[in-house]
Structure 1
C-alpha cells in the first residue's frame, strides 16, 4: 500500500508539472516541439499569436491596471494567478506566453523564489526573469531535491487539490451500472460507518461475484446514490451524479465455502470479497457501491476562450449539501458537455441568472426579470458527453443553480 500511495503521489506531481508546462505558456518557441512529443497540443493559432507577441511584446492596454514592475514568485502561487496579475484577461495565455518567449525558454523554469521583471518599451510590455531581458537567473536547489525533481516545484495552473479528486472519479455514471456494481454488505467490527484503514466485505451482483482473477481490477472508487442531473433550462435528465466517498483496494475475492457439522449435510456458504478502505472523503457505509478506478490521463489545461458561442447554465453545486450557492474555488456542474464543444481548460464568464421581482412602483405589481450581470470566471476541467465540471476561479457574488455561463468578454 505504501508503494502504491507513493506511486499515486508521483502521478499527481507529474500532472501538476504538466499543467504548469502548458498553462499561460511561458516559453512557446522552445517548448512547442517537446510539448507535441509529450501529447500537449499547441494549435497553429496559439503558436502564431505567441510568436507575433514575442516580436514586440503586449500592448500596454492589455496589462492589468496594477501590474507590478517586479514580482517574486511565491510558494503556493499558480500560473493562473500570475497571469491575472499581469493581464486584464488571464485566459489569453498566448499573450503572456509571447511576453516570455525570449527570456523564459521553458515554463518549467518558473519556480518559487524567482523574480519576474516587467519591461515597457514603445507602448509594449515584456516579462523577463532578469533585468534587461537577459538569460535569466539561476535556480539553486537544496540537497533534498535528490528525492524530488526540480520539475515537481514548477507552478501548477490552479490549486490542484481543488480538482485532483475529480480527475480520477467517474462522477457522472449510468444509473443502472451503479445499481449493478459490487456493494459493501458488512464490516469487520460490525461498524455502521467506516473510515481510512478499515476493512469491509463486498458482494458482486447476482451471477457475477467479485472474484479475484487476473482480469479483476484491484483498485476501486466507492460511491453512494445516483442523483439525477436535470437541465435547468429543459428539465431533461442529462446524467446521474454519484457521490464519491473514498477508495478501496481488493484484498480477497468472493468465494464459496463448504462446511459440515456433526456429520450433517454439507452447507455451502457465500464468503464475500474483502476490501481495504483508503482516501476516505466521507464515512463509508453499508450499501455503498464500488466502481473500478479509471486510468489517469494527462489533460491539457491551458486556459482558453471558447472557439464558438457558448450558452450554458449552472446545473448543480457539487458537494453543496444544504447550501444552495457556491463561491470561489468551488466546483459547479454545467449543462453542456463534450457533445456541445466543451473541453478542459475552457474559460467561461459567470453571469447572474437575472432575479425575477415584483415591480412595487407599478399599480399592477408586474413581475419583471432583472438584467443578467457579469459575476466572475469559471474554468471547465472535466467533461462528459452532456455534462461538465468547472472550477469557479473568481466570483463577486454567490453562484446559484440557473446562473448562466457565456463567452468571456
Structure 2
C-alpha cells in the first residue's frame, strides 16, 4: 500500500505554532489559482495569534545585508526567491509579512506586478503590499482569473519537483511483486521507447492511465540498517489498450494466455520486460508552505534519487525521517558537513581536535511517507552524499 498523509494530523500540526498558522493563512494550500478560492476558517484565538506575529515582524538583524526597500514581483519569482531577497534565513518568511486581517479569505495570493515594500519601525521590519510607482497602500487580497502565467507565485520552482510529486513512491512492502508486468514488446523488441506497444501479464482493470516502475529496491537506515520501505524507480507512463485473457484447453490441463496491451506514452528511461505497472493517481498539485520544524530534528540522507553517488543543487534526496518523526511537507532543513578530526599543530603534544559540524546547504521537503521523505536540495556549498546529516536550520 502506498503511504499517504493523514488529513487530521496535518491539520493539527499546521495550527500548532504561530509561524505555521500565519503561513497557512497567508499562502493557503492550493496552486489552482484560476479557480475561486475558498474561505479558510480562522478562530478568534488564531486570528489574534496571527495578528501578533504579523505585526511584530523580524528584528532588523535578520534582514539580508542588501535587502531592498521594495521589490516588484516578476513572473518566475518564487516565495523562496523573494524571502532570500529580504532575509538572511528565508524560512522565517511568515514573520516578515504584514497582513490585512479585516477579511481573511485567501491573503496568500501574491502576483507578478505587485509591489512588496519593506517597512522598518521600532527596530523590526515587515513587508507590506504597495502599488508600483506610488506610496504604500493597504490592499485587500483578491482572486484573479486568468491563465497559469498570471497566477500567484509558487513557494519554490515547481518544475523542479513536479515530476516527483507522484512518481517517487515508497512502499511499505515490496508490493510490486504481484503487480502486472511487461513480458514482451512488439516484434521481439527488448528495450521499449515512447510510442511502443508493450504486452502485459497480470490483472489490469480497464483504466486508461498507468505508471511503469522498475522493481522496487529496499531503503535502509544509514545508522540502524533498519528497513525503511521500498523505493520504486519511475520508468514512465502507459495507456491501456485492451485486456488479456486466459483460456483453458479442452482437457483442462493447460491454458492459453494472451497478455494485455498498453502503449508507452512518456518515458524517463527505456522500459523492458519485468517492469511493473501501477495505477496512476490523481496528480498532486498542492502548494507548500516553507517553514522550519517547530521542534529539533536530525537524521541522515539515505540516497540520491536516480542512484547517484553525490548530488548538488536542484537534485532530489531521500531522508531517513518521515511522518512518524514529525517531518512535514514544506520543512526546510540544514545539511550538515561533519567536522574533521585534526591535530593541533600549535600544541607540542599535538592534541586531537574535533572541529564542529557546519551547515553547507539546505533541503526542502516536498513528499512525506511513514518513515521516509523526499527533499529538494535548495543550495549546497559542496557535494551532498548519502549518509550526510541534516538538522533543523
Q: TM-score range by the shorter chain?
A: 0.7 to 0.9
State the number of aligned residues: 363
Structure 2 residue 374 is matched with structure 1 residue 373: no
The aligned residue for residue 129 of structure 2 is: 128
Report the alpha carbon displacement of residue 345 of structure 1 after superposing the two structures with TM.
Answer: 1.0
Structure 2 residue 170 is matched with structure 1 residue 172: yes
Deviation larger for 164-173 or 357-366: 357-366
Among candidates 386, 389, 400, match of residue 374 of structure 2: 389
Q: Is the 8 A contact 2:97 2:128 kept in 1?
A: no
Report the alpha carbon displacement of residue 65 of structure 1 after superposing the two structures with TM.
Answer: 1.5
Deviation larger for 92-101 or 342-351: 92-101
The aligned residue for residue 272 of structure 1 is: 259
Q: Is the 8 A contact 2:27 2:107 kept in 1?
A: no
Among candidates 156, 181, 197, match of residue 179 of structure 2: 181
Structure 2 residue 246 is matched with structure 1 residue 243: no
Q: Is the 8 A contact 1:104 1:136 kept in 2?
A: no
Structure 2 residue 160 is matched with structure 1 residue 162: yes
The aligned residue for residue 200 of structure 2 is: 202
Q: Secondary structure at the match of 2:90?
A: coil
Q: 2:61, 2:42 → 1: CA distance?
A: 26
Q: 2:227, 2:171 → 1: CA distance?
A: 12
Q: 2:238, 2:311 → 1: CA distance?
A: 30
Q: 1:170, 1:44 → 2: CA distance?
A: 40
Structure 2 residue 204 is matched with structure 1 residue 226: no
Residues 99-137 of structure 1: CA deviation (Å, up to 9, x unaligned): 676999855642233332223334333332224321459
Bigger helix share: 1
Among candidates 305, 309, 315, match of residue 330 of structure 1: 315
Q: Secondary structure at the match of 1:391?
A: strand
Q: Secondary structure at the match of 1:172?
A: strand
Q: 2:322, 2:169 → 1: CA distance?
A: 13
Quick one: structure 1 residues 48 and 136, their matched pair in 2 at CA, closer, same or farther if it must change by over 3 Å?
closer
Among candidates 268, 275, 282, match of residue 288 of structure 1: 275
- Map residues 15-26 of structure 1 onto 2, 5 A cutoff: none
Residues 316-361 of structure 1: CA deviation (Å, up to 9, x unaligned): 111143xx21111111111111111111111111111345x67596
Q: Secondary structure at the match of 1:350?
A: strand
- Map residues 105-120 of structure 1 onto 2, 5 A cutoff: 106-107=106-107, 109-120=109-120
Q: 2:318, 2:197 → 1: CA distance?
A: 33
Q: 2:188, 2:26 → 1: CA distance?
A: 61
Deviation larger for 118-127 or 195-204: 118-127
Residues 195-244 of structure 1: CA deviation (Å, up to 9, x unaligned): 2222211001xxxx3354xxxx4322111132221111112221121111
TM-score normalised by length of structure 1:
0.75
The unaligned stretches of length 5 or more in structure 1 are 1-21
Report the alpha carbon displacement of residue 158 of structure 1 after superposing the two structures with TM.
Answer: 0.8
Residues 344-388 of structure 1: CA deviation (Å, up to 9, x unaligned): 111111111345x67596999998764311112212111111111
Quick one: structure 1 residues 391 and 123, their matched pair in 2 at CA, closer, same or farther if it must change by over 3 Å?
same
The aligned residue for residue 98 of structure 1 is: 98
Structure 2 residue 328 is matched with structure 1 residue 343: yes
Report the alpha carbon displacement of residue 168 of structure 1 after superposing the two structures with TM.
Answer: 1.4
Q: 2:331, 2:235 → 1: CA distance?
A: 28
The unaligned stretches of length 5 or more in structure 2 are 1-18
Report the alpha carbon displacement of residue 313 of structure 1 after superposing the two structures with TM.
Answer: 0.7
Structure 2 residue 300 is matched with structure 1 residue 313: yes
Q: 1:332, 1:69 → 2: CA distance?
A: 36
Q: Is the 8 A contact 1:221 1:246 kept in 2?
A: yes
The aligned residue for residue 10 of structure 1 is: none
TM-score normalised by length of structure 2:
0.78
Quick one: structure 1 residues 176 and 120, their matched pair in 2 at CA, closer, same or farther if it must change by over 3 Å?
closer
The aligned residue for residue 77 of structure 1 is: 77
Quick one: structure 1 residues 66 and 249, their matched pair in 2 at CA, closer, same or farther if it must change by over 3 Å?
same
Residues 130-151 of structure 1: CA deviation (Å, up to 9, x unaligned): 2432145999x9xxx86x267x
Q: 1:136, 1:284 → 2: CA distance?
A: 53
